[in-house]
Amino acid sequence: MGKITLFEEKNFQGRSFECSSDRSDLQAYLSRCNSVRVDSGCFMLYEHSNFMGQQLFLKRGEYPDIQCQGMTEYIRSCRLIPPHRGTYRIKVYEKDNLRSQMMELTEDCPQVLEQLRLCEIQSCVVLEGHWIFYEMPNYRGRQYLLRPGEYRRFSDWGATTSKVGSLRRAADCF
């Protein structure tokens, strides 16, 4: 399905660990992570164990210096994003608990404010596929992986604010 190799040093040097599934705690395998190679699939890396903290979405490719991607060298968990062959659907709401104005999306949205006229997204329902919320427009800033299900408030997807500047499908992974 997917394969990722994490390296302790930059430029794919030093001790490495290869995996193809979710890992809630990488500390037993690596003391730090400074470069990554994704051979297949898409993965979300997490700053803390148990899929917590800052997140970084990676698809197939080589990342010789993970800090250039906005992460520290402390990658403590990773999650394989399963392949999805159907449509992608998400409903986003301006208020918490799935209230007020709702918009259903099936495509990426690089500019939430301009395209959807939403100042913030406080809740959502992921109907099909996996989605990534970005704190800023044009897929920049903090990232949050959303798997199928209901998110009644922004803290449910790990955010500290309801600011969503852009969102995209976790696609083109395989």
Q: What is the pTM of this model?
A: 0.90
Contact 13, 48 (CB under 8 A): no
* Pairing label, strands 42-48, 3-9: unpaired
Structure confidence by residue, pLDDT tens digits, 73-101: 889 999 999 989 899 999 999 999 999 98
- pLDDT one-digit tens code per residue, 1-53: 799 999 999 999 999 999 999 999 999 999 999 999 999 999 999 999 999 99
* Confidence (pLDDT) at 173: 54
- Label each residue of 27-90 as H, E or C: CCCCCCCCEEEEEECEEEEEEEHHHEEEEEEECCEEECCHHHHCCCCCCCEEEEECCCCCCCEE
Q: How far apart are CA 164 and CA 67, in angstroms?
A: 23
Kindly report, residue by residue over 120-148, the tens digit of the pLDDT.
999 999 999 999 999 999 999 999 999 99
CATH placement of domain 3-81: 2.60.20.10
Calculate the average pLDDT of the chain.
94
* Domain 89-169, CATH number (from 3.30.43.10, 3.40.50.2300, 2.60.20.10, 2.30.40.10): 2.60.20.10
* Dist CA 166 CA 114 (whole Å): 10
